[in-house]
A and B are shown apart, each in its own frame.
Chain A
């Protein structure tokens, strides 16, 4: 608790924003579905960190409770996401998302 609050809140904000942007850029530029999934995880975790920081900063435990919830949901989401990727690999023999362009006009 004391370690967390000893760092000013601005640092957390800037760090989390950078982490989030990295995640977004990863989603946009990568073609590997697995890497995209990991980028999404990165975005989620940047938010988690921010929540924990604000929770310590405002002395409100609700933020940390939220983080636990998000972790649980993220775990479930990753399980489904990985399952989809496995299936994509089994059907197309690749996990490149540009292969998945059949559903269009």
Chain B
């Protein structure tokens, strides 16, 4: 097969799935959907593998142009794809994790009336995401960017009969729109500066610019605003916890593994621009650290199993941005990959728990599920250990690498990132013990006993657990005798950005061992503390929350950021809308329009008396008119 065809088919397969399932969402039987939905993603995955292996050792970027999409003046936007190590990695993450989650969804959504609609949206999402990562210019990325936003909206509000879910969907959409505006402005500025929007053209011209160029600073900041919206960083993160209203596979695929990492991908893709604007990098570092700590501390007090995972996702995305801000682009991509594995696993595990309990999401009403759900328990444990960063699971290696690179940049940054890692371990094991430890505290309906999930759900869990376990092998650091496969694989993409990124770490092996040891000790201590607190003492089931100390209540109430936004932004805009409607619309514009109508009616009322009905009069006026016309003709 021709390369071009394979590359084109990778995103087209999910699009085909969407078109088929979308067109026949009322008529296609579930059995066919259950094959078509995951099948098209599997086809993409296989095509990506074919592409990867037929490329062989050639990891250089290859561009495929299909047609010119927009051509106006000097603006030329082609629909073209760029296949290089970075986009290949993202294609694998999207199709691989996407396929596993699709298989899981077959079991999870089995009884849902919107089965076909669900798979149509999911396929559309995978298509948009592939477009996002495969495009060879910013506008194509932006189509994908908007496409995933749309699918996110559709799937958060999937159960649209619930108004609260609709509100969550709208919130996600509007917050993303704020970020998208930044992205769009960034693109405009890119075009006026470089007169092209192709990656190749932009990056080759950017390399000749001085570091700290003010235009570049503006561009990178605007693009980062887009990333903040999409990847749920401060201040645009509040949509992600609400987005948990969607079905759990959606949370796993869109709000943990792929879509929210689009921002990370975008910054990594534009690495040259970012390397050249140190001020932006500092801002990213501050935002990322603040996000890590804020989200992690909120997660400690959450009661909803999915909300904990949502805040955990925000916090882990913060780690990725932290890695980007210190120039560890491949470290960020590594964490993105492992995070896709273990966070998808955790979400699917949570879905399995929710499924078993018949929709219960409050962890205070769980507990002791180890015996009832052995497969879920084991895989969930793998995910929890992986995200906490315990060797030899994948999360340890990726997070360790970020911490090392951060330490190489600034030890203060490292300290905060370290604190975040401890918090991560604590809140993850708090959730794990409350869900699986001790005795069952909830109630089961007699018609719905506790049961392990079907094979379509447990099999994806097992595969993801394996990936979370062994994913670290992708990029084993030199410290542990690994050969940093991923870093070498991605090197061609990032090496162009700056020579400063290459070469050994500026810190010695001894320091590395020490830092790893400190992190590991802290994490283990946190796990022990969580075990003592939630298993031995059986705490964390406080019903009377008013007796908590003030600062605990503030954190438990999510720092009241939502209330703050409500007060600062939502209420004023609602007030403004009401003002515009009641005063400007009704009293000014409506009156003007009605006044014009009234004037026409009154003039007509006056003029109608000319119509006397007397034929002689009409004739007289007609002759008069003819004479006047002739008179004026002579005059002129």
Contact = CB atoms under 8 A, between A and B. Distances in A.
A34 to B, nearest CB: 14
Contacts of B608: 105
Contact of A28 (B609, B611, B616): B616
Interface string A1-36: 000000000000000000000001001100100000
Nearest to A105: B608
B613 interface: yes
Given A24-B623, A28-B620, A28-B623, A104 B615 contact: no
A101 interface: yes
B363 to A, nearest CB: 81
A24 B619 CA distance: 9
Nearest to B617: A101
Interface string B172-208: 0000000000000000000000000000000000000
B607 to A, nearest CB: 9
A102 interface: yes
B619 A104 contact: no
20 contacts: A24-B623, A27-B619, A28-B616, A28-B623, A97-B616, A98-B614, A98-B615, A98-B616, A100-B613, A100-B615, A101-B613, A101-B615, A103-B611, A103-B613, A104-B613, A105-B608, A105-B609, A105-B611, A105-B612, A105-B613
B58 to A, nearest CB: 87
Interface string A77-105: 00000000000000000000110111111
Contacts of A105: 608-609, 611-613
Interface of B: 608-609, 611-616, 619-620, 623
A31 B612 CA distance: 16
A101 B612 contact: yes
Contacts of B623: 24, 27-28
Contacts of A27: 619, 623
Given A102-B613, A103-B611, A105-B611, 6 more contacts: A28-B619, A28-B620, A28-B623, A101-B613, A104-B613, A105-B612
A24 B615 CA distance: 14
Contacts of A104: 611-614
Please give me the 8 A-B residue pairs with the lowest Cβ-Cβ distance, nearest first. Answer: A104-B613, A101-B613, A97-B615, A105-B608, A104-B611, A105-B611, A101-B614, A103-B613
B611 A31 contact: no
Contacts of B616: 28, 31, 97-98
Q: Most chain-A Cβ atoms within 10 A of its Cβ — which of B616, B619, B620? A: B616
Nearest to B626: A24
A97 to B, nearest CB: 4
A15 B64 CA distance: 89
A103 B620 CA distance: 17
A103 B623 CA distance: 20
